[in-house]
C-alpha cells in the first residue's frame, strides 16, 4: 500500500495567502510518502541451475531422433509411415491398411498389391531366362578387334570363348551382397506373419508380401548361379544387384505418392508422370531400332 501524511501550519484563502501570517513567513512541512518495496526476484543461471540441464538419458534420446533424420519429423509425424514392418514401403499399405489409426485405405492397399504382383512377374522373367541359359549351356563367344576388322566385321575364325569355373570364394562374394540386401526384408516378412496370425485377410496379405521377398531371393539366386556357372563373377554380382532394384519399386512408389506432406496421396501427379514415361519408353523401343539398326518392327 502507498500512504501519505500531509501537514500544513497555515490555511490559504482563495487568493493564495494565509489568514493570519505573511506568505513570506509561512513554513510548510513537506509531505512524506511510503512506497511498497518490490519483492526480491531470484535470478537463475541456465548454466548451473539443474532445471535447465538435460540428463544423460534425454541427451541420448535427442541424439537418436536427430540421427534418424527424415524417419521422424519433429513437426508432424506421418501416421501412415509409422508401421511396425515394411516402413516407407507400399508393402505396408498392402498388409496393414486395415489399421484404423493409419491413413492408408482401400486404394493404398490396391497399390501395394499391384506392386507386389508386378514384382513377382519381373522375378519370373529373370528366373526363366536364367533357367533357359542353364539348359542351353551357352557361353559368350568373342573375337578380337583386329580379327574382326581384318575380316571386314564378318569373321569366320579365331573365335574365343570362356568356360571357366568359379570357386567357393566367388560364390560367397556374390551371395554375400545379395544376403545383405535381403536379410532385413526376410526379418520383416517373418514378423508380419507372426503378428497377423488369426487376423483374416491381413494374414493373407502378409503371406503375399513374404512370397514376394522369397521370390526375389530365388530369382536372384538362379540368375547369379548361372553367371557363376560360366565363370563370370562380376556379372553374377551385377545381375544380383540389378534384380534387387525390382525390390525397390515398392519404396519408390511410396516415396512418389508421398512426395507431398499433406494427408492425401498425390495420385494425380504420380500417375500422369508415370504414364508419360511409359509411353515415351515404348515409343523409343521401335524408334531406336530403326535409327541405329535399320530395323522396323
**Mapping DSSP to helix (H, G, I), strand (E, B) and coil, where does residue 32 land?**
strand
pLDDT per position as a tens digit, 185-229: 899 899 888 888 888 888 888 899 999 999 999 999 998 988 888
- What ranges do the domains of the chain cover? 90-265, 268-297
Determine if the pTM surpasses 0.85. Answer: no
Closest CA to 246 of 121, 109, 98: 121
Instruction: For residue 111, give the C-alpha cell.
Output: 497399390
Tell me what the mean pLDDT of segment 218-246 comes to: 86
Give every CB contact of residue 112 below 8 A, 6+ residues apart in sequence: 90, 91, 92, 93, 94, 95, 97, 205, 250
Q: 238, 231 in Cβ contact below 8 A?
A: no
CA distances from 200 to 91, 95, 132, 212 (A): 17, 11, 39, 19
Rounded Cα distance between 211 and 227, Å, is: 25
| pLDDT beyond 90 at 147 | no
**Residue that is written with C-alpha cell 566385321 in the block:** 153
Q: pLDDT band at residue 9, thresholds of 50, 70 and 90?
A: very low
Least confident of 66-75, 83-92, 254-263: 66-75
Q: 31, 6 in Cβ contact below 8 A?
A: yes
Q: 149, 128 in Cβ contact below 8 A?
A: no
Amino acid at each position: 500500500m502507498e500512504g501519505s501524511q500531509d501537514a500544513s501550519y497555515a490555511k490559504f484563502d482563495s487568493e493564495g495567502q494565509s489568514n493570519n501570517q505573511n506568505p513570506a513567513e509561512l513554513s510548510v512541512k513537506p509531505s512524506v510518502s511510503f512506497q511498497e518495496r518490490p519483492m526480491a526476484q531470484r535470478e537463475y543461471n541456465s548454466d548451473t541451475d539443474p532445471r535447465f540441464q538435460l540428463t544423460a538419458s534425454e541427451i541420448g534420446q535427442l541424439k537418436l531422433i536427430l540421427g534418424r533424420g527424415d524417419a521422424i519429423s519433429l513437426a508432424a509425424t506421418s501416421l501412415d509411415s509409422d508401421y511396425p514392418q515394411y516402413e516407407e514401403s507400399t508393402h505396408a499399405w498392402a498388409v496393414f491398411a486395415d489399421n484404423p489409426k493409419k491413413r492408408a485405405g482401400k486404394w493404398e492397399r490396391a497399390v501395394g498389391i499391384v506392386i507386389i504382383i508386378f514384382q513377382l512377374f519381373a522375378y519370373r522373367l529373370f528366373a526363366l531366362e536364367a533357367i533357359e541359359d542353364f539348359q542351353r549351356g551357352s557361353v559368350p563367344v568373342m573375337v578380337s578387334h583386329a580379327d574382326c576388322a581384318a575380316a571386314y566385321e564378318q569373321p569366320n575364325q579365331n573365335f574365343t570363348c570362356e568356360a571357366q569355373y568359379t570357386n567357393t570364394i566367388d560364390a560367397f562374394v556374390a551371395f554375400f551382397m545379395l544376403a545383405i540386401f535381403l536379410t532385413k526384408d526376410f526379418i520383416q516378412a517373418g514378423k508380419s506373419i507372426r503378428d497377423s496370425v488369426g487376423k483374416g485377410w491381413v494374414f493373407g496379405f502378409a503371406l503375399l508380401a513374404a512370397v514376394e521377398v522369397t521370390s526375389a531371393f530365388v530369382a536372384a539366386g538362379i540368375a547369379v548361379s548361372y553367371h557363376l556357372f560360366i565363370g563370370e563373377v562380376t556379372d553374377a554380382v551385377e545381375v544380383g544387384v540389378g534384380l534387387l532394384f525390382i525390390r525397390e519399386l515398392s519404396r519408390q512408389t511410396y516415396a512418389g505418392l508421398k512426395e507431398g506432406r499433406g494427408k492425401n496421396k498425390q495420385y494425380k501427379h504420380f500417375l500422369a508422370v508415370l504414364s508419360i514415361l511409359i509411353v515415351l519408353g515404348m515409343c523409343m523401343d521401335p524408334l531406336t531400332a530403326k535409327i541405329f539398326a535399320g530395323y522396323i518392327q
